Structure 1
Amino acid sequence: MAALPCGRRTKYLVVVFWLIVIALTGSFAGKLQGAEKNDASSYLPASAESTQELNLQARFVSRNLNPAVIVYVRPSGITAADLRKAAADARAFGLLPAVHGRVIGPIPSRDHRALETILGADLGYSANLSSFVGGLKTTASAGDPGLSVHITGPAASAADELKIFKGIDTTLLYATLAVVILLLLLTYRSPVLWLLPIMSAGVALTAAEAVIYLLTRHGLTVNGQSGGILVVLVLGASTDYALLLIARYREELRRHEDRHEAMAVALRRAGPALIASAATVIAGMLCLLVAESADISGLGPVAAIGIAVGLLAMITLLPALLVIAGRWIFWPVRPRYGSEEPTTKGLWSRVGQAIGRRPRVVWVVTAVLLACASLGLIGFKVGALTTAQSFRGTPASVAGEQVLARHFPAGAGEPVAVIGNARSAPQLRAALAATPGIVAVTPPVTSGGLSYLQATLASRPDSPAAYATVDRVRAAVHNIPGADAKVGGGTAVAMDVERYATRDRNVIIPLVLLVVLIILGLLLRAAVAPLVLIGTVILSFGAALGLSALAFRHIFGFAGADTSVPLFIFVFLVALGIDYNIFLMTRVREESARSGTRRGAVTGLAATGGVITSAGLVLAGTFAMLATLPLVTFTEIGFAVAIGVLLDTIIVRSVLVTALNLDIGRWMWWPSHLAGDRKERAVSAGAPAAVRASQP
């Protein structure tokens, strides 16, 4: 493959190939956002009890039924005119095609200061919800301004989420591109060179989105979260690969007069590390496929496809463009043939020599500091977040929920649903009514040998108290012989999502570590180095999560993190963090084979330090863009991954791993031939004094 983008004629064929790809896939990429599924019920497996109840519920009501609650409030007390106005509104709502007469109320509150009207909208989780909720608000708000109106319930919450997800990919794309362009300008200090990585990354993103859209038509679940992550991941990782390839190409341009030959050598030497790095990320992401939650398992192939397409573009399209452009693309600092080798001096060479004086002290102190940073996790809550805690700010639906809870049972509008055998209907209703936390139960509706009941929760439907009530309901109805009851509803769905996410986290984290360990062992052909690198990544993850937890509590003011957030942060940090270790260690191995392991460790750091740090800054900058979105989960993932990547590139890779390389020496490569190669002692006699001083 290296010959194609470097050939004097075939380089043009590569560019034409990618132009054809974009022409064929561009229209599909634009349809991806419309294929996203953001309703929680689509995330659950068929084995989940709430999913089973939802399937049975189709015999009684539409699966797409989404309740909305209209709350009218007059602090001085509801008047007869207010009641007439709310009743007229209810009749108007009942005539709407999406409602079709499914209206309850208006119902006065016990304090006589509020009214609630509950209606069912047969709209599911669709874009039509936003205009529907807006229409309800317009109708209900007309009239006396002293009567305030709030729209809440599942339909209003979904409408608020849709507003956020609408255009989220475009917003992220422009913000991420701005960050990447700025960092590339600072890195290359060239007014033109940045264009080629950006063009190649943009092509990769378009192609990846098209492939993923086609897969959604065959069962792949994609939501707004995975769609947003795809944008920053493809742009960030692709730019990283571009930085590493261009750095090696620039190096080879100093050694080869012919730019085609220089690129061929750069691809042969940097290509294996790029492919191994991408393969590690892909393998880590595909581990998500073992998740039972569709939102987690769906992210696996989405991210893997993004990385694969990004790599393909960066080792074919980008080299072809660079070779076509020639040396002038580096203007004003063009690498001249025969100019000085950059690894013999510079910041990272001096850092390596400084570490070489006392490597053991350096790695012990660094490891202790990272371990201390992880203590920030103490007392930080990881679990289900309420709807209000999931947003940065207070959307209209959350404000309405708070008003509703002050005047009515907080669970009004989002009932617990129970379906069981019809002959057990009296016992089911009695068990429901007797369950603590349930304030009202509807009469059973019977159809086809099944009975359907709804129960109103006393507590907010997204609260821990509501989850506990659902557990009590399940225990009560499951104990009725022959009832074969299933318990569902919005609260049950959210609770099941949280519990399946906990199971997925506990399974996937050790699996990712095992897969990455095996890949490192095969790549480095050693047993010690992979174990050491895995240890450094775990330390980095703990430190990043600890520092992030402190920021979430004391700077952002978040209540905690959703159950899936640590899993996503872990997978990204381990997969992407090990990337930089692969880039470093493959270069260290290459240099060690020439000049011994100790000099190889310093030379490898000097050769890769600048470019890996630049790559880390780009990736951290792209993920940090997630933190600008108004959802807590996005903010936490973006912030924590950005912190983790910076720790990995600036501290873990440059300080901790280099110090361990120098301290462990040739045994780092056991049982490969490098571990038994004693010629390094002779070779290292000519090494810098700092490196010789670190030898036993």
Structure 2
Amino acid sequence: MLRKLAALPGGRRGKWVVIALWALVLVPALMLAGRLTGAEENDNAAWLPAGAESTAVVERAQKLMPADTVPAVVVYDRAGGITGADLAKARADAAAFSSIDNVVGTGRGPVRSADGEALETIVQVRKDASGWEGLGRVVDAMREIGTRDAGGLGFHVAGPAGYGADSIKAFGGGGALTTITALVVVVILLLTYRSPLLPLLTLVTVGAALTAAEALIYLLAEHAGLVVNKQTSFILVVLVFGAATDYALLLISRYREELLRHEDRHTAMARALHRSGPALVASAATVAVSLLLLMLADLTSTRGMGPACAVGVVVALAAMVTLMPALLVCCGRWIFWPNKPVAGAPAPSRTTRWDRVGRAVAARPRAVWAGTALVLAAMALGTLGLNASGLSNKDQFTGRPQMAVGEEIHAAHFPRGTGDPLYIVTDAGAAARVGRAVAGVAGIAGVGDPVAKDGQAVLLAQLTAEPSSRAARETVVRTRAAVHRIEGAGAQVGGSTAVMVDTEDAAARDSAVIIPIVLAAVLLVLALLLRAVVAPLLLMATVLLSFGAALGVSALVFEHVLHLAGADASFPLLAFVFLVALGIDYNIFLVTRIREDTAVHGTRRAALSALSSTGGVITSAGVVLAGTFAAMASLPLVFALQLGFAVAFGVLLDTLVVRSVLVTALTLDAGRWMWWPGALFHRRDEGTEPDGEAGRLPAYSGR
């Protein structure tokens, strides 16, 4: 049955049917994929933790205050001191701001700073259905007014509105990210294949997969309630490019091997799909299942990312086992020009670098795996210094956007908490008691009069610390403790600082819940694929070591090389899911080949023959995936830089060290015990210790 299915995409008639079906799918998909941006939800609901106190405050406060507004803190500064003309301009600007769409009322101010060198005006901005995009348009209009005839007067828009506007500009680099990712893939494939044609064929198939995935995700967002935001969209691009290209490399490598054995290319493709199919499916299933488990997250942004990226991986697999085989068979052997494979041609007999690696590992496998494990464990110690407690608004960018400059100027001249207060919602009858309790909390500069309606009241409390700082977040914790003690008040604390506290708490909860479940799911997939217990356990141990080492090195680089203030609260969980799910891929590709060769050569010889035959192509796959994630650094966001670096470094570590050295050494040392209690365990013809040459099989190495 499996052989028949494998023969369909590359069959004499099947290939044309497959191409026609994909053409029919891509016609509407091109239109639907273009609408995905419009279906993104980048407002608070797309990021807030589900069920958190700050989320409840947003819902309660909307009934008492202008719906879904955020403050824009407008800052003017002049080093020699604010003049009368500067003050007049700021007053005129405040009146002009009120005419901008989605600006609520008249701004408060301008207020002169105590040192006389700055002015502050606070404007309330309503977020429309377009979320951050709407904020961006309002802030752009404010900047146009504020910088007009400024005469050297500094002008900046800070606060939550300024942060939202600069964030949408940072995420707006998604188009450039797609271009950079595509260029990375093409360059690496050109170096891998030394052919100008194969990379183009791969890129066409990857493009089709990405388009189909975006169209399907758009339909899910519109009709099934899937929450998609900018963060999900740019990770989707990188993941589909990386995963699809990896699958293409494995398939093309097997196809080339079979072309050396079979004259008919249709037969060669059927054999290639049949032999590589289980590893490809297991790889995609591991990644997709791991991503789907993110649906258990409390963080709305993380929960929506999981199924969206899982769809991308599944569609990438579908394209690479249907469209790619059909296109390859249609093109014939000339697609490999200038190194076309000829049926019956002798395989290269030269010793490859992977043969040399295999011989070195085979000499003392136990010492090799023990030493490698110790080095990885030492690298993992760097995780002790990882600060993933969240970042302040200005620290979330790799550069210094105008919002960050504005916050620094504002902090130098005004009380730090101005313009972004805490929101305390309570029963109206308890408002006075709640206000007194909040005023007595350390870190609170003052509490405004309550606004009451329909038995509910809201109070605004100004912080003494910068609202996105660690000190401000600690004040939120103290404030909540104080108001929760008041019986019958039903008081809750919200605001942007409270959102950061709840996000950090939700991220910690998500990691504690999801990480063990992901490990169990991956272990189950490996056990079903390898029909053994020992091999899956050993592979999981190597992946965990690799993840710890990658995270440890990343933490050291973030702090001591890049000098970043910390990491996003969701970074450890996302890094874990991507590194474990993607890292296990290379183990799957290697160990399934070892299992296949074990039936002929025994486990120890199979370990070396599999390393030799898959070394080049798996390394190329790892470099491609690392390159696509490294492209995320093109976005001016700390989160993108950190996730891209951690995954890229971890994938290279998996490819070059864990898969080629650690897993090979463990397999050589364990021998047939790798397959316990499966049928291969009962083989008794393991033979003597291999020398690294006898186990080598003819194969295309991918160089």
TM-score normalized by structure 1?
Answer: 0.96
Cα deviation digits, residues 462-509 of structure 1 (max 9, x gap): 011111111121112112221111211111112211211111012111
Query: Post-superposition shift, 1:144?
Result: 5.2
2:590 matched to which residue of 1? Answer: 584
> Which of residues 104, 117, 134 is equivalent to 2:140?
134
2:25 matched to which residue of 1? Answer: 21
> Which of residues 180, 185, 190 is equivalent to 1:185?
190
Query: Post-superposition shift, 1:147?
Result: 3.1
> Which of residues 192, 200, 204 is equivalent to 1:195?
200
Query: Post-superposition shift, 1:67?
Result: 1.0
d(CA) in 1 for partners of 2:33, 2:511 = 30
d(CA) in 1 for partners of 2:659, 2:392 = 38
Q: Any residues of structure 2 matched to 1:144-543 within 5 Å, and which? A: 145-166=151-172, 168-217=173-222, 218-341=224-347, 345-543=351-549
Q: Are 2:9 and 1:9 equivalent residues in the alignment?
A: no
- Contact conserved, 2:333 with 2:341, CA < 8 A, in 1? yes
Go from structure 1 to structure 2 and tell me whether the alpha carbon gap of 1:276 and 1:343 turns closer, same or farther (over 3 Å shift): farther
Q: Which moved more, 1:555-564 or 1:597-606?
A: 555-564
Q: Are 2:84 and 1:84 equivalent residues in the alignment?
A: no
Q: Are 2:67 and 1:63 equivalent residues in the alignment?
A: yes
Give the aligned residue type for 1:553: E
d(CA) in 2 for partners of 1:254, 1:58 = 69
Cα deviation digits, residues 333-383 of structure 1 (max 9, x gap): 111111224588422223212211111111111111111222233323221
Q: Are 2:116 and 1:112 equivalent residues in the alignment?
A: yes
1:647 matched to which residue of 2? Answer: 653
Q: Are 2:664 and 1:664 equivalent residues in the alignment?
A: no
Go from structure 1 to structure 2 and tell me whether the alpha carbon gap of 1:342 and 1:208 turns closer, same or farther (over 3 Å shift): farther
d(CA) in 2 for partners of 1:190, 1:384 = 45
- Contact conserved, 2:362 with 2:691, CA < 8 A, in 1? no
- Contact conserved, 2:62 with 2:68, CA < 8 A, in 1? no
Query: Post-superposition shift, 1:84?
Result: 2.9
- Contact conserved, 1:356 with 1:691, CA < 8 A, in 2? no
Query: Post-superposition shift, 1:191?
Result: 1.6
- Contact conserved, 2:385 with 2:555, CA < 8 A, in 1? no
Go from structure 1 to structure 2 and tell me whether the alpha carbon gap of 1:354 and 1:143 turns closer, same or farther (over 3 Å shift): closer
Give the aligned residue type for 1:204: A
Go from structure 1 to structure 2 and tell me whether the alpha carbon gap of 1:589 and 1:689 turns closer, same or farther (over 3 Å shift): closer
d(CA) in 2 for partners of 1:658, 1:580 = 12
d(CA) in 2 for partners of 1:338, 1:691 = 21
Query: Post-superposition shift, 1:86?
Result: 2.2
Q: Which moved more, 1:276-285 or 1:91-100?
A: 91-100
2:571 matched to which residue of 1? Answer: 565
d(CA) in 2 for partners of 1:476, 1:120 = 28
1:612 matched to which residue of 2? Answer: 618
- RMSD over aligned Cα, in angstroms? 1.7
2:580 matched to which residue of 1? Answer: 574
d(CA) in 2 for partners of 1:573, 1:14 = 33
- Contact conserved, 1:353 with 1:691, CA < 8 A, in 2? no
d(CA) in 2 for partners of 1:47, 1:674 = 50
- Contact conserved, 1:459 with 1:466, CA < 8 A, in 2? yes
d(CA) in 1 for partners of 2:694, 2:671 = 11
2:698 matched to which residue of 1? Answer: none
Query: Post-superposition shift, 1:209?
Result: 0.6
> Which of residues 47, 60, 84 is equivalent to 2:51?
47
d(CA) in 2 for partners of 1:475, 1:550 = 35
- Contact conserved, 1:343 with 1:606, CA < 8 A, in 2? no
SS at match of 1:414: strand
d(CA) in 1 for partners of 2:239, 2:571 = 16
1:38 matched to which residue of 2? Answer: 42
Q: Which moved more, 1:130-139 or 1:242-251?
A: 130-139
- Contact conserved, 1:431 with 1:477, CA < 8 A, in 2? yes
Query: Post-superposition shift, 1:401?
Result: 1.0
Cα deviation digits, residues 256-298 of structure 1 (max 9, x gap): 1111011101111111111111111111111111101111111
Give the aligned residue type for 1:408: F
Q: Which moved more, 1:255-264 or 1:361-370?
A: 361-370
1:96 matched to which residue of 2? Answer: 100
- Contact conserved, 2:437 with 2:482, CA < 8 A, in 1? yes
Go from structure 1 to structure 2 and tell me whether the alpha carbon gap of 1:46 and 1:381 turns closer, same or farther (over 3 Å shift): closer
Query: Post-superposition shift, 1:616?
Result: 0.5
d(CA) in 2 for partners of 1:100, 1:680 = 78
Q: Which moved more, 1:294-303 or 1:56-65?
A: 56-65
Query: Post-superposition shift, 1:41?
Result: 4.4
SS at match of 2:29: helix
Query: Post-superposition shift, 1:102?
Result: 4.0
- Contact conserved, 1:598 with 1:691, CA < 8 A, in 2? no
2:700 matched to which residue of 1? Answer: none
Give the aligned residue type for 1:127: E
SS at match of 2:519: helix
- State the percentage of identical aligned residues: 53
TM-score normalized by structure 2?
Answer: 0.95
d(CA) in 1 for partners of 2:292, 2:127 = 33
- Contact conserved, 1:74 with 1:148, CA < 8 A, in 2? yes
SS at match of 1:415: strand
Go from structure 1 to structure 2 and tell me whether the alpha carbon gap of 1:327 and 1:147 turns closer, same or farther (over 3 Å shift): closer
Cα deviation digits, residues 396-438 of structure 1 (max 9, x gap): 1111111111222211111101111111111122122222211
SS at match of 1:151: strand
d(CA) in 1 for partners of 2:30, 2:325 = 22
Query: Post-superposition shift, 1:54?
Result: 0.6
d(CA) in 2 for partners of 1:302, 1:399 = 35
d(CA) in 2 for partners of 1:240, 1:214 = 27
- Contact conserved, 1:251 with 1:341, CA < 8 A, in 2? no
Gaps of 5+ in 1: none
- Contact conserved, 2:8 with 2:15, CA < 8 A, in 1? yes
Give the aligned residue type for 2:14: T
Give the aligned residue type for 1:322: L
Give the aligned residue type for 1:646: L
Query: Post-superposition shift, 1:562?
Result: 1.4
Cα deviation digits, residues 191-221 of structure 1 (max 9, x gap): 2121211111110000001111111113212
- Contact conserved, 1:357 with 1:691, CA < 8 A, in 2? no
- Contact conserved, 1:349 with 1:602, CA < 8 A, in 2? yes
d(CA) in 1 for partners of 2:345, 2:456 = 83
